[in-house]
Copies of this chain bind each other. A is one copy, B any other.
Amino acid sequence: MDKNSISQHISRQYNTELEDIRNKVMSMGGMVEQQVVDAVRSLVEGDERLADVVVNNDYKVNAMEVAIDEECNVILARRQPAAGDLRLLVAVIKTITDLERIGDEAERIARMALHINDKSQVDRFHGRIEHLGELAGKMLKGALNTFARMDAEMAVEVWREDLKLDKEYDGIMRQLITLMMEDNRSIPSALDTMWAARSLERIGDRARNICEYVIYLVRGKDVRHTSLEQMEAEARNK
């Protein structure tokens, strides 16, 4: 889809509707980003008050998903969009599903912050979890920027970041297993830290999904389930 095609509609009202959907996705994305940042901070700093805020805010993310989904359905039914607009709406429906699930992961991390009893055992992982959280947050931000600009090359770059995140995740998991084997009293809190790391790794996967929808939207090709090399070729193939 041409970047400007959205502004080429005959109906000004229809344009406004599509713009409104895009803005709402961005605003939902911003809310989810904040949830991830707060969740990681609550875990790393042991801030239970902040963890509560994250848990209590999740319903807002869910409500936004339902509202945007409904709005897409109304536009699909009323405007019967073709080609590019249709792809945009399908991409929106998929993107908000991933954003909502990222919100669920943030909630899970915040619950871990409330749940970890013996914090001292996992203190030494704070730095690494924080770093993993930064990588996941950066990917999410990148995916949202990619969506805002409909930029397929940027999408590939963000997509690539997932390799870095996976590597960091593997390193943390190995260290946690070592800790558990050295000191079995650490097992419950080390497991909680594992689940939190897993959630952050999943957030990266979901950000990558969003990048794939953008590439599909821009290029009209389905890049899911292809190798990174093929994907880069698709993204370059203007």
* Contact surface of A with B, Cβ cutoff 8 Å: 59, 62-63, 65-66, 69-70, 73, 76-77, 80, 82-83, 86-87, 90, 93-94, 97, 177, 180-181, 184-185, 187-188, 191, 222, 224-225
Number of copies: 2
Complex A-B, nearest 10 residue pairs according to Cβ-Cβ distance, in ascending order: A80-B80, A62-B225, A181-B184, A66-B222, A180-B187, A184-B184, A181-B187, A77-B86, A77-B82, A76-B86
Chain B residues near A63 (CB-CB < 8 A): 225
* Contact status B73-A90, CB under 8 Å: yes
Q: Which of B62, B70, B73, B224 contacts A86 (CB 8 A)?
A: B73
Nearest-Cβ distance from residue A47 to partner chain B, whole angstroms = 26
Chain B residues near A93 (CB-CB < 8 A): 90, 93-94
| Known A-B contacts A80-B80, A177-B188; A69 and B225 likewise in contact (beta carbons under 8 Å) | no
A178 (CB) vs chain B CBs: closest residue: B187
